[in-house]
Structure 1
Amino acid sequence: MELPKIYGTNKTVHLFRKICKFIYLSCATNFGFEETDLPNYFIRIYTPISKVLEVIVIIFIASEWGSFYTQKNLTEKQLSDLYLFAFSHVVLYMIYASAMHHRDRIRELIVTLTVTLKKVCNDDATEKAMIKKTYRSLTATVFFCSGSLFSYGIDAGVKALTSNATFTTIIPIWPDVEDRQFIAGFARIIHYIIWWIFAIRVISIYLIILCVTICLGHQFTNLYKYFIKLNDIFEEEGSQEDKERSYENAVKVGVKMHSITLWCAKQTQVTCGVAYSGQVIITVSVLVLLMIQMMHTERTLTNVASIAMLGSSVLVGSAVFMLNAGDITTEASRLPTAMFQSGWHNCRGQSSVRARKLLTLAMTEAQNPVVIKGLGVIQLSYESYVSMVKSSYSVFSVIY
């Protein structure tokens, strides 16, 4: 897909520019519809470095699974961490790899949401609310996800300084957790740094998926306000015929925008479906493992802090995904009402007949629920989020 020329113009475009730049700095992949504004020499140097880091991250994940065969001196908590991270890191990498695979589709989806649709209708209040909500969601995601890595690093550091333990954050294939050689300690620090590299790449993908999800929900809000405001056409000066003609043309534009928005919803499900499904799997499995870990772990401040922070990151990550996806369904369900209240009753004669036929078809289409699903069957919403958290505890209670 050829990248178009730079668009100069709305707050949503500026928001996606920032997010896409962060993603490029994380994994040297441009999800934006514009060329990056980074220096050419930086791009030439960073691109091959990023590919090397990609290979290192894959080796890092494989090393976690290899540790099941090489690490025999693990404590109860270390064994629990091994199961937790080995499984969740594979799922997270699948989310990351899926987004990379669909980057051209995501790029097309972004340009449609931020430029094509907003050229026709872009309510300022809705856009401001969308930007504010996006920053809140992204801040919460980054804070809790990075906080969990910090807490595990602090926990390992405190244990290494106050006891005879080694600095062990994740369990790799080598070195052994009891190996106290200098090279082994250095390798553990390198593993922790690689863990951060992996986490930053995944977080950057989470950010673009969240931005697309939130922007799509607010696009349905834009459409709602667009149809509601069509009634104002008949309050303007001019002949009745001119008003009816303007109204019919505006309705046709609104129906076309609705059709494009529904296409965006389908593309969001296709391109981000693995992320939605993966988040459901991670939430249930990690919460269950963390509750089991809490049962068997010594309740020191650092142990509890690391478990609580990871649990919070999973809960917050799932919440921003599922609640924002649920908002898409809620906002889309308001459209039939807006279409009905758009002012068709002001038309007369054949204009009234044409308007009623067009709006009837449009309302019939708008009454079909717009649903974002995880695992192909779970509708993402506030209700499903609460049910998922409850089911995690139910699984834990069955085991114990």
Structure 2
Amino acid sequence: MDASENLKTNHPQKYFLKLICRSLYYIGMGDYWYEKTERTKVHKKMYIVYAVIINGYLLLSTLNQLLAHFRTDLTLKEKNDLIQFSLAHPSLCAKFICLFLQKDRLKVLFEKLIEGDSYTFRSLDVEKVSVKKAIRYFVALSTGTYAAVLFSTIDGFLSSKRDGTPFQTEVSLIPTGSQLGPFWSFIRCLHVLHWWCIVTNMLLVDAISFTSLIFLGYKFRLACMYFEQLRVKTKDNCKSKSDKDCMEEYEKGLITGIKLHQDALWCARTVQSSLGIIYGVQIIETTSILVMCMIKLVATRGSFTFLLANFFYIACLLTLNGVYMIAAGDITFEASPLSTEIFHSGWDLLKSRRRFRTLIVLAIACSQKPVYMTAFGVITLSHENFISVLRSSYSFFAVTY
């Protein structure tokens, strides 16, 4: 068994997160992995040039779309598409920039999230379940995203054949419909490629964000499991060991459990501070673009492929917003029983309980404070607010249209 397969089998969380970080590196987003990789100076310089070209291409294409508002020859469909893309693509670029600016902090976070408790207490089953959950979310999001892009591309091709206009999937300042020839056809191909590239970047950036939330939720579950096992261990020790040995082992176990909880809280604060802006951008993006998609469906009479493209586009937005909200809500859910587990950790089985009373009271008081992930420090990410965001989008659509 090679190193990769061994890592996948024995440390699935590390394998999955490393795979996402490596994919981000390959698409020019930088290195987010905490383990140092030996690279030559030539490789580093070539990668900088490659990253500048790729990201410059994405930014310039997005700027080209924003400048298309100065055009006066746009059809109604093109105007609706332009408003939608003018909201979506700058939001994606904002998420890319926010993630890149937090690169160093994320390396520290990932190391703590993955390696922090591996030598103290870990459960391979819990890790496998968390990775399966992250994979399900990623597959669902990828399916909706690429289906939306695919059907939008097909609809653009059919529209160009039907109307006798140049094929395009994005509305841009350059080229216009009257600019024809091989060079302008090449520029239009770059615009088609831009859409596929930017959604691929979006998938990986969102994947590393919601995977952090998922792994954090299971980190709190791991702490609860530890205190459950501490009670079982203390109960067995009381039957086979002296009172002094039982108290010493329980004290060590209790301190270890408190450290596990404190590590989980540190990861929660770091996830919030480093990725919280991305959550906020996502909620704003979802709310605004959902409204635009509903207006397009009502105001534009399109073909079957147009309806399919918008259906998958809306499904993609709902999935993306749901992934963030549900993963963050699970953190609150997984952390909520921790105070009860600490209280039932086995201190009541010992004869001399007074020496643990202060420590347990402080640990319970600390664990009773709910753990919430928020967007911009205002909107709580939860299962309930997921529905609230959808209602707000529809209410805004009903008022404006």
Q: What's the TM-score, normalizing by structure 1?
A: 0.93
Structure 1 portions without partners, runs of 5+ = 1-6
Q: Would you say 1:17 and 2:18 are equivalent positions?
A: yes
Structure 2 portions without partners, runs of 5+ = 1-5
Q: Would you say 1:268 and 2:287 are equivalent positions?
A: no
Name the structure 2 match of 1:93.
Answer: 93
Kindly, what percent of the aligned residue pairs are identical? 27
Alpha-carbon distance change, 53 to 142 in structure 1, aligned in 2, over 3 angstroms: same
Name the structure 1 match of 2:185.
Answer: 185
Q: Would you say 1:59 and 2:60 are equivalent positions?
A: yes
Name the structure 2 match of 1:286.
Answer: 289
Shift of 1:39: 9.2
Shift of 1:35: 3.4
Shift of 1:146: 2.4
CA distance in 2, matches of 1:122, 1:38: 32
Name the structure 2 match of 1:220.
Answer: 220
Deviation readout 1:42-68 (Å, 9 max, x if unpaired): 665444112111112111111111111
Q: Would you say 1:148 and 2:151 are equivalent positions?
A: no
CA contact (8 A) 1:148 1:309 kept: yes
Q: CA RMSD in A?
A: 1.9
Which deviates more from structure 2 when the two are superposed, residues 8-17 or residues 51-60?
Answer: 8-17
Q: Would you say 1:139 and 2:142 are equivalent positions?
A: no
CA distance in 1, matches of 2:298, 2:84: 15
Correspondent of 2:351 among 344, 348, 351: 348
Name the structure 2 match of 1:308.
Answer: 311
Q: What's the TM-score, normalizing by structure 2?
A: 0.93
CA contact (8 A) 1:60 1:194 kept: yes
Q: Would you say 1:119 and 2:122 are equivalent positions?
A: no
CA distance in 2, matches of 1:333, 1:178: 61
CA distance in 1, matches of 2:367, 2:132: 27
Alpha-carbon distance change, 130 to 80 in structure 1, aligned in 2, over 3 angstroms: same
Name the structure 1 match of 2:339.
Answer: 336
Alpha-carbon distance change, 346 to 283 in structure 1, aligned in 2, over 3 angstroms: same
Which deviates more from structure 2 when the two are superposed, residues 32-41 or residues 372-381?
Answer: 32-41
Counterpart of 2:277, as a letter, is: V
Counterpart of 1:63, as a letter, is: N
Secondary structure of the equivalent of 1:362? helix
CA distance in 2, matches of 1:388, 1:331: 23
Q: Would you say 1:50 and 2:58 are equivalent positions?
A: no
Alpha-carbon distance change, 247 to 260 in structure 1, aligned in 2, over 3 angstroms: same
Name the structure 2 match of 1:30.
Answer: 31
CA contact (8 A) 1:77 1:296 kept: no
CA contact (8 A) 1:159 1:166 kept: no
CA contact (8 A) 1:130 1:218 kept: yes
Counterpart of 1:92, as a letter, is: L
Name the structure 2 match of 1:205.
Answer: 205
Shift of 1:262: 0.6
Deviation readout 1:197-233 (Å, 9 max, x if unpaired): 2222222211111111100000000001111111122
Alignment of 1:366-381 (within 5 A): 366-381=367-382
Shift of 1:160: 2.4
Shift of 1:165: 2.9
Deviation readout 1:315-345 (Å, 9 max, x if unpaired): 1011111100110111111100111111110
Deviation readout 1:2-34 (Å, 9 max, x if unpaired): xxxxx9662211111211111111125111112
CA distance in 1, matches of 2:90, 2:177: 22
Counterpart of 2:81, as a letter, is: D
CA distance in 1, matches of 2:38, 2:382: 37
Name the structure 1 match of 2:195.
Answer: 195
Q: Would you say 1:259 and 2:262 are equivalent positions?
A: yes
CA distance in 1, matches of 2:354, 2:180: 84
Secondary structure of the equivalent of 2:371? coil
Secondary structure of the equivalent of 2:35? coil
Shift of 1:102: 0.4
Secondary structure of the equivalent of 1:27? coil
CA contact (8 A) 2:11 2:127 kept: no
CA contact (8 A) 1:28 1:46 kept: no
Counterpart of 1:146, as a letter, is: Y
CA distance in 1, matches of 2:24, 2:394: 35
Shift of 1:138: 1.3
CA distance in 2, matches of 1:101, 1:290: 31
Counterpart of 2:134, as a letter, is: T
Which deviates more from structure 2 when the two are superposed, residues 42-51 or residues 320-329?
Answer: 42-51
